[in-house]
Structure 1
Amino acid sequence: MIYSRNAFSAAGEVPMVCVEHLEGAPLSFMTTAAALRMQSLTEPAAVIPTTTRTVKQFGRIQLPGAPWRYAVTSNGGNILVDGVPDMRWRIEVDAEVRAGGATLSEVSAELRTRIDDAWVTKLRLADHLFCYLVVKPKAVPEGFVTEWDAWCRQRGWSASQQGRKIYTMPLAVCKSRAVAEVRRRLWETGELAGAAKTFAAGDGALDAEMLRSADFAIRPRHGELEQLNWTHPNLTITRATGILAGEEIINWFLESAPA
């Protein structure tokens, strides 16, 4: 939904609005049309911002339509309720990660033995849940992600690359599970009818299970899932790429949700 300048693609002179600043500098944008339409999306639907970003990183974003009753951050590891992490959910996730295999400390220690400064610029631990590398994509050793993912899978984790970031994630930390939990809560309180459908959008491998689990899903014609040529019977793929794909996704939500 939001894009850095490097990810705009061929947007031309389309009017933009900045929706994220970092240390006072503009960082991420939407088209003005997408921002306006996203505000109206909250009328026919319960909108749940869902991201791999940490709680702190999500807090930098001024997404149109806020404030949000619920949001999912940390790839599903945290559910925010009125902006505050739900500790009951987080305790459940942490317990499942421990039961699933290796700890974050063990995984990150092994990862450090496999990387060097020639192609890695940062190694970050995210919300005490997972870790990721910021890399020079063209310098990543051939086969690294595949080999690292194979090591991780035997220990209850996985690895995937999205642009300049290589994520190492516990299998128990999953956006689809957190979205299903929020949907259950909204159904229990009567805010959603039992027949309400779930619509989802995403562009990376970490989004695939969420898209697969939704009743209807959409992805842009760019990003990791495009590179993987990933598809599913419930999936729509945008015509546009870059920031204009974000606008097309908003329009798809608006056209689909009322129906």
Structure 2
Amino acid sequence: MITASDLDRTLMYSNRALEEFGIPENIKLKPVEFHKGTWIGYMTEAAFSMLKVVSSHSLFIPVTTRTTEQFNRFVIFEKEIPLTYAITANGAHILYKGEHLEDWSEHLIFQLKNGCAPEEELLSALKRSGITLDGDRKQAENLFFYYILNCLPTPSELREIRELTAQYGWKMSLQGRKLYFIPTAISKGKALEFICNREGMKAMAGAGDSVLDWDFLKNCTYRIVPSHGELLKVMGPADITLTNQLGVTAGEEILEHFLNALSLKANFS
């Protein structure tokens, strides 16, 4: 069976996230993300041990909005926890044994050509509408873009932006100070569904903290959300299981739920 999880602020935590949520006493951290000669991401040692068990008893699939290059900073997936699949760039890429899965890439290219307007057309429409976004625009592999905002739009402005982007076959999501614009064809849920069909397996358990994660969580039998997650703001408690813990220890709790779903917790030590 399949287990799937977002990484950032779900299982893995940056230095900034650790500072924001704090680190409980007696918690030992395992460095998991390495970039430019420095460790910049962590999970608890207990969570790492549980993830190894989950990965050995299920088809574990990381699901992330990160580009493939950014995802590869998680060095634990090189040797310690080898992966068969990973979903990157919000579903734009499926990695199979570390390489882009061409079947999915070809399918997605067709969907992008026929299901959404070009990025330049959307940007022109936003400009014509008089909407001003105060921030730096970043590109993600020429697939979608996002703004790192200095000033957040008002709720009414966000509704206007969301309605406008939908007219052009795109979707919008505000995650903290990052405002994402993503073609509707690029979908974590569709990518996970593709893998499920390819392998003839069901998605048993999933976890994620952001609104973008609901796209794949709705395909999972068990859906676990860290209690600090932005997804809590838009989903009712009947649809998800919330952790009791915040921050990095929420990652431990999520993996305990995964072990329960796989009926392995009693055997874990």
What TM bracket, shorter-length normalisation? 0.7 to 0.9
**How many residues of Structure 1 are paired with residues of Structure 2 in the alignment?**
246
In the alignment, structure 1 residue 132 sits paired with structure 2 residue 137: no
In the alignment, structure 1 residue 176 sits paired with structure 2 residue 189: yes
Residues 81, 126 of structure 1: alpha-carbon distance in 2 compared, 3 angstrom cutoff? same
Say if 2:62 and 2:87, in contact at 8 Å, map to a contact too.
Answer: yes
Aligned equivalent of 2:199: 186
Aligned-pair CA distance for 1:233: 4.5
Q: Flag structure 2 segments of 5+ consecutive residues without an equivalent.
A: 1-10, 265-269
Say if 1:212 and 1:232, in contact at 8 Å, map to a contact too.
Answer: no
Q: Which has the higher contact order (CA 8 A, sep 6+)?
A: 2
In 2, Cα distance between equivalents of 1:159 and 1:103: 15
Residues 258, 111 of structure 1: alpha-carbon distance in 2 compared, 3 angstrom cutoff? farther
Give the alignment's TM-score, normalised by structure 1: 0.87
In the alignment, structure 1 residue 255 sits paired with structure 2 residue 260: yes
Aligned equivalent of 1:152: 165
Instruction: Give the letter for the 2:110 counterpart.
Output: A
Question: Identity rate of aligned residues, in percent?
Answer: 31
Aligned equivalent of 1:202: 208
Q: Of 42, 45, 48, which residue of structure 2 is paired with 1:32?
A: 45
Aligned equivalent of 1:141: 153
Instruction: Summarize deviations over 1:37-56 as a string: whole Å, max 9, x none.
Output: 11111122110111111111
Q: Flag structure 1 segments of 5+ consecutive residues without an equivalent.
A: none
Q: Of 137, 158, 166, which residue of structure 2 is paired with 1:123?
A: 137
Instruction: Give the letter for the 1:244 counterpart.
Output: T
In the alignment, structure 1 residue 87 sits paired with structure 2 residue 102: yes
Aligned equivalent of 2:225: 219
Residues 25, 110 of structure 1: alpha-carbon distance in 2 compared, 3 angstrom cutoff? farther
Aligned-pair CA distance for 1:177: 1.0
In 1, Cα distance between equivalents of 2:187 and 2:181: 12
Q: Of 221, 243, 249, which residue of structure 2 is paired with 1:244?
A: 249
Give the alignment's TM-score, normalised by structure 2: 0.84
Aligned-pair CA distance for 1:5: 2.3
In 2, Cα distance between equivalents of 1:96 and 1:232: 33
Instruction: Give the letter for the 2:85 counterpart.
Output: Y
Q: Of 22, 27, 32, which residue of structure 2 is paired with 1:10?
A: 22
Aligned-pair CA distance for 1:159: 0.7
Aligned-pair CA distance for 1:164: 2.5
Aligned equivalent of 1:22: 35
**Helix, strand or coil at the partner of 1:47:** strand
Deviates more, 1:210-219 or 1:100-109: 100-109
Say if 2:196 and 2:203, in contact at 8 Å, map to a contact too.
Answer: no
In 2, Cα distance between equivalents of 1:208 and 1:254: 21
Instruction: Give the letter for the 1:20 counterpart.
Output: E
**Helix, strand or coil at the partner of 1:200:** strand
Aligned-pair CA distance for 1:115: 4.1
In 1, Cα distance between equivalents of 2:92 and 2:230: 21
Alpha-carbon RMSD across the aligned residues, in angstroms, is 2.1
**Helix, strand or coil at the partner of 2:49:** helix
Q: Of 161, 167, 179, which residue of structure 1 is paired with 2:174?
A: 161
Aligned equivalent of 1:54: 67
In 2, Cα distance between equivalents of 1:19 and 1:108: 37
Instruction: Summarize deviations over 1:17-46 as a string: whole Å, max 9, x none.
Output: 221123223221111111111111112211
Instruction: Give the letter for the 1:131 counterpart.
Output: F
Residues 213, 39 of structure 1: alpha-carbon distance in 2 compared, 3 angstrom cutoff? same
